Structure 1
């Protein structure tokens, strides 16, 4: 073979191998970056959803206490009870307004989680949400929260 042709083929072969290695490296780096991005978004969505559900649960408990107090003095004409009823109703409206904001945030988070996946985490957060809506007892809430924590840890590869 002609030495000039051999030199040219060696140069172009080296360039082709270098280009292929560069493309492979870029592809691998792109996958790494995507996995990192997905992990960060999932972590944010998972922790935010859990925190919002805890807040919503606490607000719901406050609301239940206020409603019971309002019903206790509902038909009373005693001036102290009338004042209590007005105060509780005003506080109750504030708590309901905060609950509406938290509920909107929970819905937004659950939408994010549905996009980020996986389905196992979505099922666990849905169970927690239903726990808040149904007003489950503390033991049931703890069980649901533990299931959610285990599911998210598994997905996030947290030991």
Structure 2
């Protein structure tokens, strides 16, 4: 009888920490599942956004490189043509000066010619020199026309450099244009400097 009374009067035992942990453990799978779902979705979205940004960056870099290549190639074509015609005009002027000396010498021989054969020879040479002079004059005019046309084309061809860059290529192109405006300048050296800057801009290695 006394045991029954004591048992009824004894308060129920407090839950232990172990019991709390067991209860928490009972809901952990659900929480973990939710965290896995939402965390995975977040990571997937972040990875997708990062991948799209990287792809966009690569496409932009490729687009700029292709546009640079096209602009550089056009400018180099015009510049090389300009260098050629400048050199050609210089050679023609040298020939013209030599031809003028030959004509002066032939005129002196004409003054000193005494017999008919000598006079005929002088006149024959004079006709040959006149033909050479006419042909050379036509070549000089053609060279000057070509240079005038290339002067306007090279200005247009260099315009994209200031948008596409880099500054080193734009500056080298500007230096070449100034050099080409001077007939006696070293055009080949200026062209070589520009081509080196272009190779660096396009990441083209020398082999």
TM-score using structure 1 length = 0.72
CA 1:11/1:27 → structure 2, altered by over 3 Å: closer, same or farther? same
1:152 partnered with 2:178: no
**Hey, what does 2:40 align to over in structure 1?**
14
1:110 partnered with 2:165: no
Q: Residue 99 of structure 1: CA displacement?
A: 3.9
In structure 1, C-alpha distance between the alignment counterparts of 2:91 and 2:168, rounded to whole Å: 34
Find the structure with the greater CA-based Rg. Answer: 2
**Hey, what does 2:183 align to over in structure 1?**
135
* RMSD value, Cα: 3.6
Aligned partner (choices 169, 180, 183) of residue 121 of structure 1: 169
In structure 1, C-alpha distance between the alignment counterparts of 2:171 and 2:128, rounded to whole Å: 47
Aligned partner (choices 57, 76, 81) of residue 55 of structure 1: 81
Give the total of aligned pairs: 157
Q: Residue 94 of structure 1: CA displacement?
A: 5.8
Q: Residue 145 of structure 1: CA displacement?
A: 2.0
Q: Residue 87 of structure 1: CA displacement?
A: 7.4
In structure 2, C-alpha distance between the alignment counterparts of 1:150 and 1:86, rounded to whole Å: 41
Q: Which runs of 5+ in 2 are unaligned?
A: 1-26, 101-125
Find the residue that maps to 1:158 and give its secondary structure: coil
1:32 partnered with 2:58: yes
Q: Residue 105 of structure 1: CA displacement?
A: 2.6
Q: Residue 12 of structure 1: CA displacement?
A: 2.1
Q: Which runs of 5+ in 1 are unaligned?
A: 73-77
> Which moves more between the two structures, 94-103 or 108-117?
94-103
Aligned partner (choices 67, 71, 75) of residue 45 of structure 1: 71
**Hey, what does 1:75 align to over in structure 2?**
none
